[in-house]
Amino acid sequence: MASLWRLALAAAMCGVLLSSSAAGKKTGRITVYWGQTAAEGRLREACGSGLYTTVIVSFLTGFGGGRYKLDLAGHDWGAVGPDVKYCQSRGVLVLLSIGGGIGRYSLASKADAKAVADHLWDFYLGGRSKSRPFGDAVLDGVDFDIELGRPAHYDDLARYLKAYSGRKPGGKKVWLTAAPQCPFPDRMLGEALRTGVFDRVHVQFYNNPACSYRAGGNAAAFAAAWRRWASSLPRSSVYLGLPAAPGAANSGYVPPAALAGEALPIVQRSTNYGGVMLWSRYWDRRTGYSKKIKHAYYECVLNVGIRVVLQ
């Protein structure tokens, strides 16, 4: 009996009571960005890997003022529609990300925000435009990765998009997610996030050394930043956003063992912790990061448990 108690305590030290716990299940929820290099393979392959619960197609790099540009970096648009349906048949959500670090986008007015919302509905969600890039495939929602331009009217855009919930086939809702930078509040998305209409928020804890996690380094600053984000979004699931390889970002890469044994126990204390977001499918495919963090997570439980039981 004492050994079982010690094993449970050891598991808690790794941030999870047992593999069937709520925290463990949430760590298995991985969102990944796809669409910025043909070398990452097809969308179908990403969903068929069984690694991800959500795939975000990126990016709509141009919008506002009646101009729209979808940039999938050489991917065949004609293949995306059937792949979206395949993903959804496997229970994987597929969203379209708007914005990104390269492009030309902004919202000049509330009316402009309404026009962009209508475009997204007609071309990607439940609308009936004859020029839908992915044919009759209906995406599950929209992700806001706003890094350029002015922050105005993204709150309006979020409300307009959320108002389309219930109008999709089968009365399904429009999922809204966002990817703010970890410095709080996010300069571009602060007002939008205060609307409370976002289902998930994938906070980018990378490319920002002041709040990113560094193994053996700034755990206190990281924890404070995480708590601030989690407490400010009580109605949203908050995801820990990370690069899937050292080369995927300028800073913020966390080795799998450090993530499992050090960073995850911090974020899992929040009741609205939702899982992990990775940039990107290309890098994850090269490094196997998503597999490694799951393995490291449960290996931490096993190894610490064995050491405690043998004491």
Q: Which pair of structure tokens corresponds to residue 188?
A: 């571009």
User: What's the pLDDT at 24?
Assistant: 59
Q: Are 276 and 30 in contact (CB under 8 A)?
A: yes
Q: How many whole angstroms separate alpha carbon 234 and alpha carbon 229?
A: 9
Active-site option among 40, 45, 147, 191: 147
Q: How many CB atoms lie within 10 A of CB 136?
A: 10
User: What's the pLDDT at 114?
Assistant: 98
User: What's the pLDDT at 51?
Assistant: 96
User: What's the pLDDT at 201?
Assistant: 99
User: What's the pLDDT at 28?
Assistant: 77
**Look-up: residue for tokens 């435009």?**
129
Question: For the ranges 57-61, 182-186, 254-258, 296-300, which has the lowest average pLDDT?
Answer: 296-300
Question: For the ranges 14-18, 25-29, 71-75, which has the lowest average pLDDT?
Answer: 14-18
Q: Are 257 and 296 in contact (CB under 8 A)?
A: yes
Mean pLDDT of 153-176: 93
User: What's the pLDDT at 23?
Assistant: 61
Residue 7 zone, left/alpha/beta (φ > 0; ψ -120 to 50; rest)? alpha
User: What's the pLDDT at 21?
Assistant: 53
User: What's the pLDDT at 166?
Assistant: 83
Name every residue whose Cβ is closer than 8 Å to that of residue 244 and which is 6 or more positions away in sequence: 32, 278, 279, 280, 283, 284, 287, 289, 290
pLDDT band at 124 (very low <50, low <70, confident <90, very high): very high
User: What's the pLDDT at 305?
Assistant: 44
pLDDT band at 158 (very low <50, low <70, confident <90, very high): very high
Which of these, 103, 128, 105, 133, lies nearest to 118 by C-alpha position?
128
pLDDT band at 218 (very low <50, low <70, confident <90, very high): confident
Q: Which pair of structure tokens corresponds to residue 226?
A: 């995480």
User: What's the pLDDT at 9?
Assistant: 41
pLDDT band at 172 (very low <50, low <70, confident <90, very high): confident
Q: How many whole angstroms separate alpha carbon 84 and alpha carbon 4?
A: 45
Q: Is the pLDDT assigned to residue 311 strictly greater than 60?
A: no
Q: How many whole angstroms separate alpha carbon 275 and alpha carbon 142?
A: 18
Q: Is the pLDDT assigned to residue 37 strictly greater than 80?
A: yes
What domains can be seen in the chain, in order of their start residue? 22-301 (3.20.20.80)
Helix (H) or strand (E) holding 158: helix 154-162
pLDDT band at 298 (very low <50, low <70, confident <90, very high): low
Q: How many whole angstroms separate alpha carbon 97 and alpha carbon 135?
A: 18
* Residue type present at position 36: Q
Mean pLDDT of 130-136: 95
User: 265-295 pLDDT, tens per residue?
Assistant: 999 999 999 999 999 999 999 999 999 987 7
User: 97-106 pLDDT, tens per residue?
Assistant: 999 999 999 9
Question: For the ranges 21-30, 54-63, 107-116, 205-214, which has the lowest average pLDDT?
Answer: 21-30
User: 59-96 pLDDT, tens per residue?
Assistant: 999 999 999 999 999 999 999 999 999 999 999 999 99
**% pLDDT > 70, the chain:** 86
More confident residue, 175 or 293: 175
Q: Is the pLDDT assigned to residue 25 strictly greater than 70?
A: no
Name every residue whose Cβ is closer than 8 Å to that of residue 234 and which is 6 or more positions away in sequence: 272
Q: How many whole angstroms separate alpha carbon 309 and alpha carbon 311?
A: 6
Q: Which pair of structure tokens corresponds to residue 60?
A: 């709509």
- Residue 147 known to be catalytic: yes
More confident residue, 291 or 299: 291
- The contacts found for 16-21 with CB under 8 angstroms, 24 or more apart, are 16/264, 16/268, 16/297, 16/301, 18/301, 19/298, 19/301
